[in-house]
Amino acid sequence: EVQLVESGGGLVKPEGSLRLSCEASGFTFKNAGMSWVRQVPGKGLEWVGRIKSKTDGGTTHYAAFVNGRFTISRDDSKNTLYLQMNSLKTEDTALYYCTFTYCSGGTCYSYSWGQGTLVTVSS
Amino acid sequence: SYVLTQPPSVSVAPGETASIACGGNNIGSKSVHWYQQRPGQAPVLVIYYNNDRPSGIPERFSGSNSGNTATLTISRVEAGDEADYYCQVWDSNSDLGLFGGGTKLTV
């Protein structure tokens, strides 16, 4: 069974930093593309970014609103995905989900989701 | 940029059929995926590649996609189907997923 467990959320002041983690199990993590998706409480889903597996090049892609502030990385030896968030803004307040992103035939979808970790940016 | 449009809400009586639309320019040329999000829970994939169901998703869930509209259809709706539903396509320009605004299904 695929399991994704996020951690690292919390309260941070504007312009502060936070690192989220996502521990994966139940599948071969090193071969998996992974994504972060966020959701402002009461609002819709928004893709933050994704990282390909190292065999697919290990490249990262980010939404325009990230604007160089966030970095997605992975440690395949620990089956863990990370999201380093710097220069946080109040509008980054959201529940952040880690997802196992499956890609084929020119499209991708989030096959499994964690339960999310809440990030609150407030002074 | 590409935009997916969903109705904010759909209401249906138990046992009836619910149809949730997802509009986009020539969306029929793309693969559409659907997620269910029950209150307080993480999203769950219910349809991928327009009309494929992951294991564990009831046959009551089906999808179609043609022209400018993709549709999620839920037959014999149950109280447990009450949730927010999101459509999603892949944006080749950004190489990221793009979600519709979501539809709240009330049973």
Return the pLDDT at B1: 87
DSSP secondary structure string, A47-73? EEEEE--GGGT--EEE-GGGTT-EEEE
- On whether any CB of chain A is under 8 Å from the CB of B102, the answer is yes
Residue B90 · residue B31 · CB < 8 Å:
yes
User: At residue A36, does pLDDT exceed 90?
Assistant: yes
B-chain residues near A70 (CB < 8 A): none
User: At residue A11, does pLDDT exceed 90?
Assistant: yes
**Residues B17-53: pLDDT tens digits?**
999 999 999 999 999 999 999 999 999 999 999 999 9
What is the least distance, in Å, from the CA of B81 to any CA of chain A? 18
Burial class of B88 by CB neighbour count within 10 A (0 to 12, 13 to 18, 19+): buried
Residue B106 · residue B78 · CB < 8 Å:
no
Residue B83 · residue B45 · CB < 8 Å:
no
Return the pLDDT at B17: 98
**Residues B54-104: pLDDT tens digits?**
999 999 999 999 999 999 999 999 999 999 999 999 998 889 999 999 999
One-letter identity of residue A75: D
